[in-house]
Amino acid sequence: MQQNKGLLFSALILIEVLSLITIWSTAPELFMSQLAFVIVGIIVVYLLGKSDIFLLLSSGKTLYIISLILLILTMLVGKNIRGSVRWIDLGFFNLQTSEIIKPLLAIYYSSYLAKLNKIDWKQILIFLGIASMPVILIAIQPDLGSALTLIFLPIALLAVSGQLGKILILGTIFSVLVLPFESKLFKPYQRQRIETFINPYSDPKGAGYNVIQATIAVGSGKIIGKGVKLGTQSHLNFLPERHTDFIFASYVEEFGLVGSLALFLSYIVLFRSCLYAVKRLRDNQQTLLSLSIFFLFLFQFLVNVGMNLGIMPVTGITLPLFSYGGSSLLSFAILVGLLNLQLDLITPFEI
């Protein structure tokens, strides 16, 4: 069984190795802390492999309540960093609660929908009301990236559950009602990001600077890249957030098209493993959880790479298992551990 998972875990190891090399190159002072996070993430995957997936799924409501408590605690005792209150200071580590609750909510949403005999308008509205609570608490922090991720997840789950038509109707009604209040819902810098996405050169030295520098870094990597520690955009400090939001641009500048293809193939193996579990698992809860894991990885992958290429707005969404940050890495390590548990239910497992 373990031998059949070789390709998946080889792909995950490659993602982590390339991430560590990029962080060592662009922000060497953070290398050891990220390495420690990776080791803890491996331990988390291992420990989850010893747990009972059915017990976890039966604890969905408890995990949802824990998620809300963590977000409320962040509001009350959270650490303010650059105007955002997203972290709880644990002394040895700043826990970003909006990241760590993603796998907890994935479990709850999967178990909640699986228990419904019929999904009608009432059930959809109740489910979206439940899902909106953590989104509102996260938006207050503010953390637009995590809020968008946790808006996408329940909507995607409803869509694949055969409710796409109803979701489109609700989305249209919501847009009509909210559009007049758009100026009050978004902070000035958030609106500026959207405007910059449409035309980054309208403010090349201000709001559009990040996107422009990221696309320059990606383009300058060409076929094989400039080499480790030879990326000019990152090492001359032209590229902001070069180890977090824009780590993909840093990576491509140094590893080029060849390196980006290797990274993409590794993620494709991960995505394919999620979809394999969706196809082979017969239990509805398990299927929905596999889809949740797939959607969380895919959404953040597409948005992060897209904003590095200038084809998506800058939202502060990390590249899963690749960007610097302990909370994000541990969150996705939990998702990998859950996927591992599900694959153990399939015999034989082949990619």
Per-residue three-class SS string for 26-64: HCHHHHHHHHHHHHHHHHHHHHHCCCCHHHHHHCHHHHH
pLDDT attached to residue 313: 81
- Report the percent of the chain where pLDDT is more than 70: 89
What does the block give as tokens for 149? 């991720």
| Residue 282: predicted pLDDT | 84
Residue 237 amino acid letter: N
For range 50-78, the mean pLDDT: 92
**How far, in Å, CA of 183 to CA of 168, rounded?**
23
pLDDT at 12 exceeding the cut of 50: yes
**Overall size of the chain counted in residues:** 351
Query: What does the pLDDT read at residue 1?
Result: 43
Contact yes or no for 340/286 (Cβ under 8 A): no
pLDDT beyond 90 at 176: no
On whether residue 334 sits in a domain, the answer given is yes
Q: How many domains does the chain have?
A: 1
Rounded Cα gap, residues 334 and 331, in angstroms: 5
Torsion of CA 233, 236, 240, 242, to 10 degrees: 70
Residue 48 predicted with pLDDT over 60: yes
Q: Is 161 domain-assigned?
A: yes
pLDDT exceeds 70 at position 350? no
The answer to whether residue 77 sits within a structural domain is yes
**Is the pLDDT assigned to residue 290 strictly greater than 60?**
yes
What residues make up the domain containing 34? Answer: 3-343
Name the more confident of 312 and 67.
67
> What is the pLDDT averaged over residues 22-49?
94
d(CA 152, CA 174): 15
pLDDT digits (tens, 9 = 90+) for 183-238: 666 666 556 656 655 556 555 666 567 788 888 888 888 899 888 888 777 776 67
Residue 349 lies in a domain: no
Q: Which range (39-43, 202-206, 265-269, 276-280) has the least confidence?
A: 202-206
Q: Please state the rounded mean pLDDT for residues 87-100.
A: 90
Cis peptide before 188 (omega within 30 of 0): no
The verdict on residue 105 lying in a domain is: yes
Tokens of residue 17, six digits: 């190795």
Mean pLDDT score of the chain: 88
**Quick one: average pLDDT of 133-159?**
93
Place of tokens 């300058």: 220
| C-alpha torsion 23→29→33→34, nearest 10 | 0
Q: Does residue 261 lie in a domain region?
A: yes
What is the rounded CA–CA span in Å between residue 21 and residue 42? 18
DSSP alpha helix (H) spans, the chain: 6-26, 31-48, 53-58, 60-77, 97-114, 121-140, 144-158, 164-178, 182-185, 188-198, 209-220, 232-235, 247-280, 284-309, 326-343
Is the predicted pLDDT of residue 256 greater than 60, yes or no? yes
pTM for the predicted model, two decimal places? 0.92
Q: Is residue 348 part of a domain?
A: no
Q: Among residues of the chain, what percentage have pLDDT more than 90?
A: 59
